[in-house]
Amino acid sequence: MKRATAVLITAGALALAGCSSDGKDKAGSKPPADPTDAVLKVARSYQEAKNRQDWQDWCAMSSARLRGGTVAECVAENTPSSSPTPEESSPSPTYSPPTYADGSTPTPRARPSSSGPERADTGPVSASDVVQVPAVEDHPAGYGVLITYTVQWPGKEATTTRRALRLVREGGSWLVDQHEDVQAGDMGHGSPVRTALSGG
């Protein structure tokens, strides 16, 4: 009788311990955080940095794979030179511009610069349509985001630009690993973001 009682007590204790352990695990475990807000914030900031030509922030928010080097190397590669090259500062003494029938010559074309007439005005950047995207080629799986903003060149009507960005986790942060243009014809057909980031 004593042996039977001991067995029952032991079984009951084990059952209680199991219930207590299960409850603790369920209470202590947390579901993975939804990355939507973080992904949207990085995607928007990335495009805003590019539009204002802030290469330090833009390169810092790019993955090592997309940069192809260090952040410093990326910044140096994208920053326009402040001093013109000899070819830009003074034309060759043997160079003669073409002359029209009326004797006039064409106006020299302005060269690209960080603040020259070639720089278009861009509107506010919006980020939306977050979708999970599978790995493709050398791009790991991550999240895709649709970026939308307007572009207006001097003397021209504003146009809408749409881009798809792939964001991946790297070093504990969300970084942009791929960017592709989204064609107007792709809008309204499935996921234009997933289509652009998968190559069609």
Does a structural domain hold residue 12? Answer: no
Measure Cα distances from 72 to 58, 59, 187 in Å.
Answer: 11, 8, 36
| Residue at 7 is within a domain | no
Q: Which neighbouring-strand residues pair with 133?
A: 142
Q: Is residue 111 part of a domain?
A: yes
What's the CATH code of the domain at 147?
Answer: 3.10.450
pLDDT in tens, 94-119: 545 555 454 555 444 434 444 544 67
The verdict on residue 2 lying in a domain is no
Contacts of 166 (CB under 8 A, 6+ apart): 133, 139, 142, 143, 144, 176, 177, 178, 179, 197
Q: What percent of the chain has pLDDT over 70?
A: 66
Asked if residue 141 is part of any domain, the answer here is yes
The domain in which residue 147 lies consists of: 36-77+99-197
| Reported pTM | 0.68
Judge whether 191 and 182 are in contact, CB under 8 Å: no
What single-letter DSSP state applies at residue 184?
Answer: G
In a domain, 127, yes or no: yes
Mean pLDDT, residues 18-38 taken together? 64
**Number of domains the chain is built from:** 1
Q: List, for residues 149-187, the tens digit of each pLDDT value.
A: 999 999 899 999 999 999 999 999 999 999 999 987 777
- In terms of average pLDDT, the best of 27-36, 63-72, 75-84, 118-127 is 63-72
